[in-house]
Amino acid sequence: PLSNAFKIPLHKVKIKKITIGGAFGGRSEICPVDYICALLAKKTNKPVKIEFTREENTIATRQGHAMITTHKTGVDKDGKVLARETTCYMDGGAYSSTGPIATSVPFLSMEQVYRMESVRYNGYRIYTNKPIRGMIRTHGRGFACGLDTQLDMIADHLGIDPVEMRLRNCRKPGEYTSTKSYVDSCAMDETIHKAVEKSGWKEKWGKLPPFHGIGIGTNSVQTGFPMGIRGGSQSFIKFNEDGEATVMSGVVDNGQGNDNMLVQIAAEELGLLPEDIHLVSADTETTSSDPGSYSQVSTFVGGHAVQIAARNCKKKLFGVAAKVLKVKPDTLAAKNRLIFVKNDPEKSIPIKKVVRISLLNFTSVNAEGGYWPKVDMTREWVKNPYGQMCEAFSFGTTIVEVKVDPDTGQVEVLEVTAAQDVGYGLNPLVLEGQFEGALTMGGQGGMLTEYHEWKDGRCLNPTMLDYKLPLACDMPKINNIIVESIDPKGPYGAKEAGMSIAMSAAQGYSAAVSNAIGAYMDSFPLTPDKILTAIKKKKQQTEKK
């Protein structure tokens, strides 16, 4: 975008990422201030920094889409979903931004997690006199809450446990979605079973004290749908004379641990220690094309590219080592800085020595690797929404237990259990961090405290004084459960992690509050005034009976 705007060649625009704590969708595309900053730097021939106040940040950067959705669902007497018709109206602000994607993602999450024989979806993104809209960790939490609320209502009407209702309709491996995407790895039912067991659902459902509630949410997120010419990632690895390696990758680390992930994969493949890997990432001067930290691509696509580059490097190392050890290359393995014979580990040679031997023979040890998801490139958001959307899907379940104060409408979250099918857990500690961050944003913040008030196109609460963020003291006990299904296409079987929890957390919070007050909530976030209104309405209905 900067190259096009200033009419200068791409090679003259150098962008190097800095260490930041997070992005959550706010940096999924260029902001107007980026152009302004670049223009001022060009005009003054000096470095320019633009820093927003909190109020400016609220009105000049992306915010989530407010939406109104309606769901019409047909089921049989056993609770099997036969057909669903959904309409979604999204507040798109005054700019197009990622409009088609934002309008499509809610439907995609719905069709991925639940089986539906017949489905109709109408999505409308409406221009309004408000700032630009985007995602907050994901699109469509309110949509998902409405969908699951209706599912709970149907289960209640049929006398079916909400957990059983989901097990009867959840996605299974080897199936196709409504828009013809094949689902290879899927442990949706396992995430439900493990979350139910850990949370004590069977002991609590229907047996909690008044104004105590428990609820479940389930969701699915695609792993890395392609973004046109930026749909794939490429990596380059070169060995240095000391036996250590430099990895170059365009993958961006926005705080989720991507740098560490790339180092882990390279070290594992090359038989080195993590400290032997030196990473150059997200520098347009030296690194190749990458989709960026968007659409859950970092591990599945970017990590895959590094894995392929490392394997190509390893082939060269094994070719040299095989001649020295007088064995065939396919009998070798690499670990702890050594290349050794698999069935005779004592017969080995240091990787450092292999690199030096290669250099003495006028051959450097380096290789590249790239990975592009195999999807249906004729698929289009509006005109042709059919075909393989992406190569893998993640699945998550969140169970939430709450206590509601009937006099104030305040919600105290007692315990949250989150289980996600991540394919393979490359780094369990980082995964737990992603789960907890997702619960904070999707559940605690997104459903209870964070919301903007608007009037005549202006935000009435743009400061931290009025826009409440959840603090550490607000967070409940969290049980994290990593479920592995080993995706055949992901690096070591890994796929997206965290986003399914951000979606299902919102659903779980909504269901728990509804269960606590005995009335289904249909407006989010769950602010005290809405909860008090629902309690009052429920009381009036009970008195009439």
Residue 400 has pLDDT above 90, yes or no: yes
Range scoring the smallest mean pLDDT among 106-110, 116-120, 204-208, 468-472:
106-110
My answer on whether 397 and 535 are in the same domain is yes
Confidence of residue 30 (pLDDT cuts 50, 70, 90): confident
Is 57 among the domain residues?
no
Is 280 among the domain residues?
yes
The whole-number average pLDDT for the span 30-34 is: 82
Considering the entire predicted model, what is its pTM?
Answer: 0.94
Domain containing residue 25? 2-52
Is 181 among the domain residues?
yes
Distance of alpha carbon 197 from alpha carbon 193, whole angstroms: 6
Is 42 among the domain residues?
yes
404's CB contacts (< 8 A; 6+ apart) are 211, 212, 213, 410, 411, 412, 513, 516, 517, 531, 535
The whole-number average pLDDT for the span 64-75 is: 92
Judge contact between 112 and 222, C-beta under 8 A: yes
My answer on whether 429 and 350 are in the same domain is no
Last residue of some domain: 310, 342, 371? 371
Partners of 401 in beta bridges: 214, 415
For 426, the 3-state DSSP assignment is coil
Residue 515 has pLDDT above 90, yes or no: yes
The tally of domains found in the chain comes to: 3
- The encoded tokens of residue 129 equal 């006199």
Q: Which residue has the higher pLDDT, 106 or 529?
A: 529
Is 268 among the domain residues?
yes
Tell me, what CATH number does 254's domain have? 3.30.365.10
Is 58 among the domain residues?
no
My answer on whether 321 and 425 are in the same domain is no
Residue 228, pLDDT score: 60
For 204, the 3-state DSSP assignment is helix
My answer on whether 440 and 522 are in the same domain is yes
What tens digit of pLDDT does each residue of 293-344 get?
777 889 999 999 999 999 999 999 999 999 999 999 999 999 999 999 999 9
Distance of alpha carbon 453 from alpha carbon 458, whole angstroms: 8
